[in-house]
Structure 1
Amino acid sequence: MIHKKLSTYVTLLVSFLLLSGCSNKRPEIIQEKIPDEIRAQEMKDLRFGMFICWSFSTFSGTEWTGQELPPEFFRATECHTDQWAKTAKEAGMKYIYFLAKHHDGFCLWDTKTTDLKVTNAPLGKDVLAMLRKSCDKYGIKLGLYFSEGDWNWPGATRGKGGNSRDAGGSNPEVKKAQLKELLTQYGPIELIWFDHAVGDGGLSHKETTEWVHQFQPNCFVGYNHGEPSGRLCLREMGKPGQLGDANASQYNKEQESSHKGYLVAEFTYPILPPHEGGAMWFYSLPKHDQLCYPASKIFHDYQEAVKYGNIFSLNVGPDYQGKIRDIDVKTLQEVGKMIRESEQ
């Protein structure tokens, strides 16, 4: 009996290794659902993370890049995901969530749903796969940002925002296919930050949440506004505060005060303070390379996040060559030192 069990184990192990070796992507994962109260505490324990925005808007110098562009517009030839994960670790961060696709539809993973993807750009690499490896190397959890709408989809109006489907079009089957790739080929995804700025892409938030949980039931799903759904309350450009406090939200006030399904609140803002010209969530312009919120402010908001059981996602935009700016690295190292000293 022992030999039979051992033989079965070896067979399963060899099969897993063979499957893993056939592709750079991970085999599909199977999750058992963790009870909500336990999973919510796991999410609160993440406390502090890095939000990475790196895409077409890095190179356009604007927040939204509405014009139709080829993948070659993404001109980076280097990508330093190890630096991102190492910096997050030094800052006391426990997760990174990464912009997989913005409203312009450019995909930062090797999708089969479109040719508008990073593997067709000069970089020629699956950035999400690289980041997955870097996160595993430094013990960092992985989450994703995903624009629900896409200006390349039927019915979309390029550059237009708004909740209606004539902003980001309607293509529910492609939206589902892209999410399936992200949720089955890149390991466990802790949370997904859905951006509703250009509509829902033809798949309601209820349907989107159910689709995500079909593949990863423990993934915390949130939407920055629109139809309330999921367990994660998002506060884009928000602040720390007790769950249900509408004053802590900027775009999600009504949803936060009324939706009973939220278990944890997340707030996020860019490390770049307000400035004239250039982007804010993405790398701005070289003339802004010395602009950065002070470590003291970031540490204060971290402490408030812990106080209220929130998670705090600080946005950082890598530059043209995929590196986090020197001033951001230095500031985040200072924050990490403050966190370690406060916990001694």
Structure 2
Amino acid sequence: MYQFNREEYNKRMEWYVDARFGMFIHWGLYSIPARGEWVRSVEEIPKEDYMKYFYEFDPKDYDPKKWARAAKEAGMKYVVLTAKHHDGFCLFDSKYTEFKSTNTKCGRDLVAEYVEAVRAEGLKVGLYFSLIDWYHDDFPHYGDRQHPMRNNPAYTNENRNWDNYVTFMHNQVREICTNYGQIDVLWFDFSYDDMMGEKWGATKLVNMVRELQPQVIIDNRLEASGQGYGSLATGNPTPYHGDFVSPEQIIPPHGIRDVNGDPLNWEACITMNNNWGYCARDKFFKPSSMIIKKLVECVSKGGNMLLNVGPDAYGNIPPESMQILSEIGAWMKKNSKSVYGCGLAGIEKPDYGRVTRNGNLLYYHMFENTMGPVPLTGIKPGTIKKIRLLCDGSEVPISDSWVHTDYPDIVFANLGPDPVLPDAVDTVLEVELTE
């Protein structure tokens, strides 16, 4: 009978909860057609037609040191790379398939280079692994909701051996957990219909992973997809429960809590444009100002943000993404203290922004200025030790203006006569409490 160990769980989650911000990297053969990572499924491309990208794959500019440096300069603390996506192509040298980077013109174990580069920047190493494999002959084809050949009766599932597939999948996970040193995050993707939990041999799989990588943090997608919280939320966790919930392309309206009302760890995975993998025509990039505010929103609700980039066929992160990362990094250099190690403030969201908290330090994030002095809602008069602008450490006095005499139970901060905030995106006030 599985017994959840809260103490062990909290210990392995410490760095992750402190980090709050990571980089997702979706990259593989699909960067060549450049129509997103689901291109083979969406366009129902047969294996033999998709293979032309395998024979072409030769990312001449691949330099994971540049990726890791970009992540670090953006203020990210961990990186998660798609070691294998749904098309089954491996960026690592798996002995269980020929469909891998070492067999392309590239001829390199790209995961090995990636983990070395990420560690060299002092970042935590994450690997994404698809439970789905459209290349493997024993994975269901016809009638499967996702498979490229789902509508082609010529690809009958007769003589496909599911047990063989599960063994193959477990063997590849063992390789990832054995051949690349310490892995900090293992990001499985994903369960659907009856393909979940023990269908994947999940208990056996996670037991193996925990034996090989006892410190690793695992997402919840052995028992959920982008929707669904998983068994940790039910108060009755399975042996393969996720360590965090993984909402996709949405920030939970009120954070996420379990059945007892206690906060759960979660991570919103978000694209910069509208695709995970490189999509040459998708120029609908979210501005850095929006992403910064959404990162703060995640933290204020007790969650992390995993922000995606999709490098092109040569291995370059798109210039639009690099510019966005640079702008986020400029803000983080001055304000990261209000993100790292912070979480729920226990204070109602103010009209002008968000509040994050780390112990007796409250961070009031101002997305817009107020008319008159700034109300620091949730703080009792007489409990403030000091107020500072986080970006430069300058003193912000408590207001004694007559205009707020009707609100004696609220503390107001005096930002001075200028109606324009020092940072138009997010000006952060650090409020230190006396207790």
What is the TM-score normalised by the length of structure 1? Answer: 0.76
- Higher mean C-alpha displacement, 88-97 vs 187-196: 187-196
Aligned residue number for residue 135 of structure 1 = 118
Indicate which of 32, 39, 42 corresponds to 2:15: 42
1:84 CA displacement? 0.6
CA distance in 2, matches of 1:261, 1:309: 11
Correspondence 1:129-278 to 2 at 5 A: 129-151=112-134, 152-157=136-141, 160-161=144-145, 171-196=165-190, 199=195, 202-224=199-221, 225=224, 228=231, 229-240=241-252, 244-245=256-257, 263-272=264-273, 274=274
| Whole-Å separation in 1 of the counterparts to 2:161 and 2:297 | 35
Distance 1:168 1:83 in 2: 42
Q: TM-score, normalised by structure 2?
A: 0.61
Aligned to 1:99: 82
Q: 1:197/1:317 Cα in 2 relative to 1: closer, same or farther (>3 Å)?
A: farther
Once residues 137 and 328 of structure 1 are traced to their aligned partners in structure 2, the CA distance between those partners, rounded to angstroms, is 22
Q: Does 1:112 align with 2:109?
A: no
Higher helix fraction (1 or 2): 1
CA 1:44–1:115: 2 relative to 1, 3 Å: same
Contact 1:241 1:310 in 2 (8 A): no
- Correspondence for 2:348: none
Residues 159 and 302 (structure 1 numbering): CA distance in 2 closer, same or farther, change over 3 Å? Answer: farther
- Gaps of at least 5 residues in structure 1 are 1-32, 246-256, 275-279
**Equivalent residue, structure 1, for 2:278:** 283
Where does residue 431 of structure 2 map in the other structure? none
Q: Distance in 1 between matches of 2:129 and 2:297?
A: 27
Q: Which runs of 5+ in 2 are unaligned?
A: 1-5, 151-156, 232-240, 338-389, 391-435
* Gap change, CA 1:181 and 1:120, over 3 Å in 2: same
- Give me the whole-angstrom Cα distance separating, in 2, the residues matched to 1:202 and 1:240: 28
- Once the two structures are superposed, residues 32-87 of structure 1 have per-residue CA deviations (whole angstroms, 9 ceiling, x without a partner) of x9822222222111210110000122123243224314332534333121111011
Moved more, 316-325 or 332-341: 332-341
Please name the residue that 1:16 is paired with: none
Instruction: Pick from 30, 52, 55 the counterpart of residue 28 of structure 2.
Output: 55
Distance 1:261 1:176 in 2: 33
- Spell out, residue by residue over 1:88-111, the C-alpha distance to the aligned partner (whole angstroms, 9 max, x if none): 011000111000111111001011
Q: 1:203 to 1:339 in 2, by over 3 A?
A: same
User: What is the one-letter code of the residue matched to 2:179?
Assistant: Q
Higher Rg: 2
Find the aligned partners of 2:141 and 2:246 in 1 and give their Cα distance.
26
Tell me if the contact between 1:50 and 1:316 (Cα under 8 Å) persists in the aligned partners.
yes
Residues 260 and 231 of structure 1: CA distance in aligned 2, closer, same or farther (over 3 Å): farther
Aligned counterparts of 2:253 and 2:180: Cα–Cα separation in 1? 32
The 1-side partners of 2:56 and 2:321 are apart by 25
Secondary structure of residue in 1 paired with 2:98: coil
- How many angstroms does 1:258 deviate by? 5.6
Change (3 A) 1:58 1:158: farther
Do the aligned partners of residues 211 and 132 (structure 1) sit closer, same or farther apart at CA in structure 2, a change above 3 Å counting?
Answer: same
Kept in 1, the 8 Å contact 2:246–2:268? The answer is: yes
Cα distance, 1:182 vs structure 2? 0.6
Q: Confirm or deny: 8 A CA contact 1:295 1:334 kept in the other structure.
A: yes
Which of 85, 101, 104 in structure 2 is aligned with 1:121? 104
Query: Is the alpha carbon distance of 1:109 and 1:155 closer, same or farther for their aligned partners in structure 2, counting shifts above 3 Å?
Result: closer
SS class of match (2:70): helix
Q: How many positions carry a matched residue from both structures?
A: 292
Contact (CA 8 Å) 1:149, 1:168: kept in 2 or not?
no
Aligned CA RMSD, in angstroms, stands at 3.0
1:88 aligns with 2:82: no
**3-state SS of paired residue (2:22):** strand
- Looking at structure 2, the residues matched to 159 and 99 of structure 1 have their Cα atoms a distance apart, in angstroms, of 26
Q: Which residue of 2 aligns with 1:311?
A: 304
> Is contact 1:270-1:281 (8 Å) kept?
yes
Residue aligning to 1:339: 332
Deviating above 4 A after TM superposition, structure 1's stretches of 4 or more consecutive aligned residues are 166-170, 240-243, 257-263
SS of alignment partner, residue 339 of structure 1: helix
Describe the shift of the 1:322–1:34 C-alpha distance in structure 2 as closer, same or farther (beyond 3 A): farther
Identical-pair percentage: 29
How far apart are 1:132 and its partner, in Å?
1.0
Query: Which structure has more RCO (C-alpha within 8 Å, separation ≥ 6)?
Result: 1
Which residue does 1:277 correspond to in 2?
Answer: none
**Aligned partners of 2:316 and 2:143: how far apart in 1?**
27
Q: CA deviation at 1:340?
A: 2.0
**For the Cα contact (< 8 Å) 2:22–2:306, is it kept in 1?**
yes
